[in-house]
């Protein structure tokens, strides 16, 4: 009998080290899942992607001892990416493809979607969100506690002060739907609450912790003592930003240590990634920072542009995964999109996706665990009425459909930094990819953000009439429908500037 037990242990170890298959994993003990999402982190603002001025030892350890993703894609802004994660479906299917949900808006993620926490909860998981939600705040039916999370702590909107926990005097800090008035820096509060949550879990029941730090999103704020650690950085904003990422790393380390102390680390999958690329365009920097007085601090390395755009810098993000003995250490080069995490995690958990609407995501566990070829051959960056982008294999097309229209074509295998537009030399490729985008366009739901903007802008209101000697009304200048959180910088405007 003892020899038989030894044989079973040896076989289990061999399976684990070779990159456990989805089937084998589902038959084993259900893993705990800690899914860490950070906010507006630059691709090169972590050590494992080459940062030298910002120290991220805890995150780097997860990456170097696990899978470091070289082609992990999200949407280019917060709300759309978080919707992908929760639904396993592209946001153009339910109207969240454009912008983020504004603080003054009342819409949210369609309640007919079957979300990740609902799916995992049916499979026997405790479910928790600790951090930022941003999928609906104006009506409680959209709040996470009503969408499958047993426990919810943190913020509902997209941007808040790190110390007052709100915006313009409105508190946005809740625990299980109840407002929480407390002191502290949000990154630290989120980390501390995650540690408490882990300590309260029983090894007898698996848990899913969706840990969503609002760092390092604007406003750029950090504890003075942490900023002082980066006195070698000359730029004031970069110095503060470095301190924000440092605090983020410290709290990731606390969470990993809590899992170790609880004896749960060996059965816990940790996934880490940003919700989009770092901000490189002031139009997408949020509303709580005066960008006219600072330089944007995020570094996306060699990738073009950043948050809010359809270029790689906006969508290809810093990401890694770690599960001791189950994920092979090294680079993972296959394409993975945020929508893939839903079916992948559901399969690992032995959860049914029968209640989901048709998923866009694919099970990519073998890619994550053992760097096997990805089943994904296409990435939909976005489909909006005024712009879209798609990748098929190595080819990427960006199409701006507003008059005057423009189209760009890149071969990412040869030109990952999008410097050489090949549209004029490959008209057949352009035509076929435009046809694909038009097909997807027929499946789109109207963008809720544009409907909201139209409703506010066209609402019957008090007329504004000029008067002699009066101050002129403020107008939005230099901004088009492809700017200010709606889309890319208008490449046709002011060509001589």
What percent of the residues of the chain are helix, what percent strand, and what percent coil, each to the nearest 5? 35, 15, 50
Could you tell me whether strands 406-411 and 395-400 are parallel, antiparallel, or unpaired per DSSP bridges?
A: antiparallel
Q: One of 35, 58, 134, 217 is an active-site residue; which one?
A: 134
Please state whether the peptide bond connecting residue 376 to the residue before it is cis, i.e. omega within 30 degrees of 0. no
- Bridge partners of 208? 33, 127
Residue with tokens 């680390």: 265
35 is catalytic: no
**Could you give phi then psi for residue 193, rounded to 5 degrees?**
-70, -35
84 is catalytic: no
Cβ–Cβ under 8 Å, residues 369 and 326: yes
Residue with tokens 């949900």: 101
Cα(461)–Cα(456) distance, integer angstroms: 9
In SS3 terms, 178-220 reads as EECCCCCCHHHHHHHHHHHHHHHCCCCCCEEEEEECCCCCCCC
Q: One of 25, 35, 78, 84 is an active-site residue; which one?
A: 78
Instruction: Say how many C-beta atoms besides its own lie within 10 A of residue 392's C-beta.
Output: 14
Angle 286-141-356 (CA atoms, 0-180°, nearest 5)?
95
CA 338 to chain centre: 8
Cβ–Cβ under 8 Å, residues 299 and 37: no
Instruction: Spell out the residues 6+ positions from residue 12 whose beta carbon is closer than 8 angstroms to its own.
Output: 28
37 sits in which H/E element: strand 32-38
End-to-end Cα, the chain, rounded Å = 80
Q: If we measure between CA atoms, which residue out of 217, 214, 246, 219 comes closest to residue 230?
A: 246
Residues tagged active-site: 78, 134
């Amino acid at each position: 009998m003892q020899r038989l037990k030894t044989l079973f242990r040896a076989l289990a170890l061999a399976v684990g080290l070779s990159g456990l298959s989805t089937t084998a994993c589902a038959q084993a003990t259900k893993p705990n899942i800690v899914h860490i999402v950070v906010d507006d982190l630059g691709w090169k603002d972590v050590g494992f992607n080459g940062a030298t001025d910002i120290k991220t030892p805890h995150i780097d350890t997860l990456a170097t001892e696990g899978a470091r993703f070289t082609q992990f894609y999200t949407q280019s802004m917060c709300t759309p990416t978080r919707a992908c994660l929760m639904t396993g479906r592209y946001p153009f299917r339910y109207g969240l493809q454009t912008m983020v949900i504004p603080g003054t808006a009342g819409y949210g993620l369609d309640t007919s979607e079957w979300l990740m926490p609902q799916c995992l909860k049916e499979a026997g998981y405790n479910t928790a969100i600790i951090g930022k939600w941003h999928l609906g705040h104006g009506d409680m039916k959209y709040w996470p506690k009503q969408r499958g999370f047993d426990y919810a702590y943190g913020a509902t909107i997209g941007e808040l002060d790190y110390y007052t926990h709100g915006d313009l005097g409105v508190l946005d800090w809740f625990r299980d739907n109840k407002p929480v008035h407390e002191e502290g820096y949000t990154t630290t509060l989120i980390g501390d609450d995650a540690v408490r949550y882990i300590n309260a879990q029983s090894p007898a029941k698996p848990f899913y912790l969706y840990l969503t730090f609002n760092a390092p999103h604007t406003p750029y704020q950090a504890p003075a003592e942490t900023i002082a650690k980066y006195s070698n950085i000359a730029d004031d904003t970069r110095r503060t930003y470095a301190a924000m990422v440092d605090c983020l790393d410290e709290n990731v380390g606390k969470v990993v240590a809590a899992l170790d102390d609880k004896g749960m680390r060996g059965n816990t999958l940790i996934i880490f990634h940003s919700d989009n690329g770092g901000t490189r365009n002031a139009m997408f920097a949020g509303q709580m920072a005066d960008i006219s007085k600072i330089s944007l601090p995020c570094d996306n390395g060699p990738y073009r542009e950043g948050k809010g755009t359809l270029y790689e810098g906006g969508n290809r993000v810093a990401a890694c995964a770690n599960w001791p003995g189950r994920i092979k250490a090294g680079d993972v080069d296959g394409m993975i999109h945020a929508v893939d995490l839903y079916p992948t995690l559901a399969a690992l958990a032995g959860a049914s996706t029968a209640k989901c609407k048709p998923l866009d995501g694919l099970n990519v566990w073998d890619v994550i665990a053992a760097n096997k070829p990805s089943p994904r051959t296409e990435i939909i960056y976005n489909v909006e009425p005024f712009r879209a982008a798609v990748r098929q294999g190595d080819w990427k097309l960006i199409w701006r459909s507003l008059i005057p229209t423009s189209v760009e074509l890149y071969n990412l295998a040869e030109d990952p930094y999008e410097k050489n537009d090949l549209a004029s030399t490959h008209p057949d490729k352009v035509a076929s990819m435009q046809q694909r985008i038009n097909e997807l366009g027929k499946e789109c739901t109207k963008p809720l953000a544009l409907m909201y903007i139209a409703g506010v802008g066209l609402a019957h209101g008090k007329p504004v009439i000029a008067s002699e000697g009066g101050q002129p009304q403020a107008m939005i200048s230099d901004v088009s429908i492809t700017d200010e959180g709606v889309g890319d910088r208008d490449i046709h405007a002011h060509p001589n500037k």
